[in-house]
Structure 1
């Protein structure tokens, strides 16, 4: 799991919570079911079974892979529309090509592609031809971030955030590597520019270590375990790969890695997410996230009429 790594964590700035901070308790713990997306690449539905009110402003998240493809096996998606939200694609291992009716790009180990669908566009994601030919490891995350009503018809745009732009920090004991991809956490700001106030962090917690991270005031807090085993919260609830944690109120979040990990990983890999709840009605239909059923019908009609762009 390369993403962005540092050989000597002691060279990084240290971040530590205040001893007066209340650790956020665990409100719920769910296990993501497995499925398939697009032309058949395997995913885990990270938010399945989680109350939408606890996720707000997030809508949906897939863990793509982790899978090692044989030559000729890598798969992607066909052209499809989006309106009313942002997609965040974080590639941990492997390479993905992105193209939409506004532009395109390529992201690889540790890169993030941030697409604001806004008023609508067509979109395709696929492995590059070289990866299809050779096969290889593929592992990533796609997160859907809701937009408030006032931003749903904003002009589409996308950002390619390179792995070298991610803000890096370490825990006080240098047992945890913290990658701030978006938002501000413990005084560290990530490169992602977000329309919905939020934070996104990928942390690697070494076996036997604990990470306590001050969390932004007014944000909800979620954790998704990418790999490894450990525990979370002040009650030290056990967690494992493929599980989603919803935290309750407080000033900090705590995650700890078990002293013994399985043979597939040497550390606990966890994605930490939080945002300021939008608290508006949500109407969803496939690739459209709006506020009312009438807006969904309009999005469908606009797509059918070609007003969301053309495949190219």
Structure 2
């Protein structure tokens, strides 16, 4: 169950019913996320696999981390690694993760917290579970989203935002059947805490069995719905979706998601993340941890990283600073 809940959903502000003239967004595609491993071996679902960048823009990459119940000694993270040219958004639904970077950002995020790291011109960072969680084991579940930056901001100064769970705007539908957590952007006049370079919105919604979310959505944004857990349907055509699937919507004003009447005992509701942003519509050259506009810029990023121009690992972190698995050339 997601960490951020409320005891009485009727006390929350309600999103308005869409206007009768609002156009329902149709569903262009539903795809299945393949599974894999990241960092030192923690399990992920690659949510955007097989989807055209044209439909994803301004987003690049989305991993669902877990949901996994670790035994003692099993929790894993990443080694120190570089990024340039985009922002990483790490949202922890359940569990705990630690972050540190070469520009002084960092901290511990847990149970509904979000870290928003602008890599910009270049950064080194590390993400891993705290030692206490490694020793004890426990539940771990989260997301990491990569948000592209336009050419003019590719080399912007790095920035770190520590967004606490309590800062998210909490909303409900008129009938109280859906709990929405606005992490970034604005939904129905309510803004989330994340400050974004690229205009976008990110919402985590828990939809009760049989309930429906009709979410007003900016017409100039694309619209994506990723199913974290549960079963339901998307769009006016009620296309079926389930855990690990991504729905891409076409143009319009309203995104519709409905929860199935019957959910499994482990996941009593449908949990989804709704994403959308203003497309950047620029060329993309992607080489490992660098997302630029041209291959020459990717090669320059590798050269700058190898020359030590992405900052230094903080002295107190050096004993854990294994750089041995970092890429040495573009993928």
Q: Secondary structure at the match of 2:305?
A: helix
Secondary structure in structure 1 of the residue aligned to 2:13: coil
CA contact (8 A) 1:87 1:117 kept: yes
Structure 1 residue 3 displacement after superposition: 2.9
Give, in angstroms, the shift of residue 264 of structure 1. 1.3
Work out the CA distance in 2 between the residues paired with 1:15 and 1:126.
Answer: 36
- Contact kept in structure 2, 1:67 and 1:139, CA below 8 Å: yes
Aligned residue in 2 for 1:101: 102
Q: Does 1:82 align with 2:83?
A: yes
Retained in 1: the 8 A contact 2:219–2:251? no
Equivalenced residues, count? 312
Q: TM-score scaled by structure 2?
A: 0.93
CA distance, structure 2, for counterparts of residue 147 and residue 81 of structure 1: 16
The corresponding residue for 1:147 is 149
1:184 aligned residue: 186
State the distance in 1 between where 2:103 and 2:235 align: 42
Q: Which runs of 5+ in 1 are unaligned?
A: none
1:104-159 CA-partner distances (Å, limit 9, x unpaired): 11100000000000000101000000100110000000000000000010000110
CA distance in 2, matches of 1:223, 1:290: 26
Supply the distance in 2 between the matched residues of 1:42 and 1:162 (Cα, whole angstroms). Answer: 25
Q: How far off is 1:7 after superposition? A: 1.2
Q: CA deviation at 1:187?
A: 1.3
- C-alpha distance in 2 between matches for 1:19 and 1:265: 33
Which structure 2 residue ranges, 5 or more long, are not aligned? Answer: 315-331
Distance 1:130 1:23 in 2: 47
1:99-138 maps to which residues of 2 (within 5 A)? 99-103=100-104, 104-138=106-140
2:6 pairs with 1:6: yes
Secondary structure of the residue aligned to 1:231 is strand
Paired with 2:246 and 2:54, the residues of 1 have a C-alpha distance of 15
SS in 2 for 1:294: helix
Once the two structures are superposed, residues 23-79 of structure 1 have per-residue CA deviations (whole angstroms, 9 ceiling, x without a partner) of 100001100000000000000000001001100000000000000001111000000
Q: Distance in 2 between matches of 1:54 and 1:96?
A: 30
Alignment match, 2:327: none
> What corresponds to 1:251 in structure 2?
253
Please name the residue that 1:204 is paired with.
206
Distance in 2 between the 1:146 and 1:48 partners? 16
State the distance in 2 between where 1:264 and 1:150 align: 46
Runs of 4+ in 1 over 3 A off after TM superposition: none
